[in-house]
Amino acid sequence: MSDSGEPVQKKAKVEEQSKPVEDCCEVAEGALFGLGNPLLDISTTVTKDFLDKYDLKADNAILAEDKHKPMYDEMVKNFDVQYTPGGATQNSLRIAQWILGKPNLATFFGCVGKDEFATTLLEKAKASGVNVNYDENEKEATGTCAVLITDNLRSLCANLAAANCYTSKHLDKNWDQVERASFFYSAGFHLTVNPDAMLKIAQHSYDEKKTYCFNLSAPFLSQFFKEPLLKLLPYVDYLFGNETEAHEFSKQQNYGTEDLKEIVKKISEEEKKSEKTRIVVITQGSDPTLVYKDGEVKEFPVIPIKEEDIVDTNGAGDAFVGGFLAQLIQGKDIEDCIKCANYTANYCIRQSGTLINDKADFK
C-alpha cells in the first residue's frame, strides 16, 4: 500500500483484449480526440455492508476522500479483484476504436504517473488502437478507480492522483494533434482537473466549425462544478448523460420540472455559440433512450437483455458513447449512432468492466 492509498502495484494483473480489426472505414487518422482522466479500474463484487462502511452508494460515482483511501488496500487483500484500463473518456475512445477497426483514429490525452500502472494503461490503450499521448507526473501515482459491484449495480470511487495533474503545457506542446481532429469528446469528470484545457479545445472546435461532445457524467459535477460546466456548455454540440444526471442538472438550473422529456428539451435550448442545434442524448438504463433533435424528443428502445445475462453495468455508459461516436465521425445519422451505441452498451454489460474479448460484429 502506498502513502496515497494506492494498492501495491506489483499485484496488478490486467486482462484485456482483442487486437484492432482490419480497416473498415474511411475516417481520417486522428479524427476523434479525447481529453480525460486515465485511471486503472480495480473491480470486485462487494456487499452492501462494505459500501456502508465507506459511506458509498450503489449506482453512483464520486471522488475519493481521505476516508476512502484504506478501501483500496482492503479490496486487494480481501476480495478477488480485476484490473482493467479505465477512465470514462479513455473507455469511450477504446470502444469507438473497437467498432471502427482502423488504428489511431482516436487520440487521447490525460495524465499518469511514472509507474507500472501507467505502463499497463499505455500498453492496453495502444493495443485497442487508441493513439495515447500521456502527460507524466513524477510526484503522483497513476490514478485508480474502485469499481464496487452489488446486484449488477456499480459504485465508482476514483482516486485521481496523477490524473488530477494534467497540464495545459502538455496540451499546447501537442496542439497539432488537436488541430488534426474533427470531433472532440470529454466526460465531465475532467472539469475537476483542467477545465481551461477543455474550454480551449471547445473554442477551437467552434472556431473551426468542428464538433464538440460532452458528458454530464455524474450528479456531483452539476452540483459542485457548475461554473466551469456552464462555461463549457455553449460550445457543446452533443451532450450525453443518464436520467439521474439530467435530473440533477435540471435541479441546479431551476427548470422546475421532473419531466425528463421537458428537461432534455431545456438542456438543448441552453445558450449555444454556433447555429447548430445542440443534440441531447439521455439514457435511462433499460428504458428507452431520449434524443432531442430538430425540436422534438424521440425515444429509442434499448436491446433487451435477461437479468441473468448482466455481468456488470460498469462502463455501459462509456461504451454507449463510444459506439455513438464511432458512427458520428463516419457521418452517420442519429438512428445509426443510437443503434451502434445500444450494441456496444449491450455488449459491455455482458462483460466485466469495459473488457473487449471479441471482434466487433456490428452491422
pLDDT, tens digit, 9 for 90 and up, residues 156-176: 999 999 999 999 999 999 999
Inter-CA distances, 26 with 102, 106, 326, 359, Å = 9, 13, 12, 19
| 318 assigned to active site | yes
Give the pLDDT score at 23: 44
- Under DSSP, is residue 82 helix (H, G, I), strand (E, B) or coil? strand
Q: Model confidence at 307, in pLDDT bands (50, 70, 90)? A: confident
| Annotated catalytic residue within 80, 318, 358, 361 | 318
Give the pLDDT score at 355: 65
CA separation for the pair 250, 252 (Å, rounded): 5
CA separation for the pair 158, 88 (Å, rounded): 11
> Tens digit of pLDDT for each residue in 7-25?
333 333 333 433 343 444 5
Place of cell 487486437: 19
Spell out where the chain has E strands.
32-35, 39-45, 60-63, 82-86, 106-113, 131-137, 144-150, 153-159, 183-187, 211-215, 238-242, 279-284, 287-293, 296-300
Q: Model confidence at 353, in pLDDT bands (50, 70, 90)? A: low
CA separation for the pair 38, 107 (Å, rounded): 13
Q: Please compute the mean of the pLDDT values over residues 334-360 and round it to a whole number.
A: 86
Is 287 a residue whose pLDDT tops 80? yes
Q: What is the pTM of this model?
A: 0.86
| pLDDT, greater one: 354 or 83 | 83
CA separation for the pair 22, 200 (Å, rounded): 34
- Under DSSP, is residue 194 helix (H, G, I), strand (E, B) or coil? coil
Q: Is 39 exposed, middle or buried (0-12, 13-18, 19+ CB in 10 A)?
A: buried
Bridge partners of residue 62, in order along the sequence? 157
Is 264 a residue whose pLDDT tops 80? yes
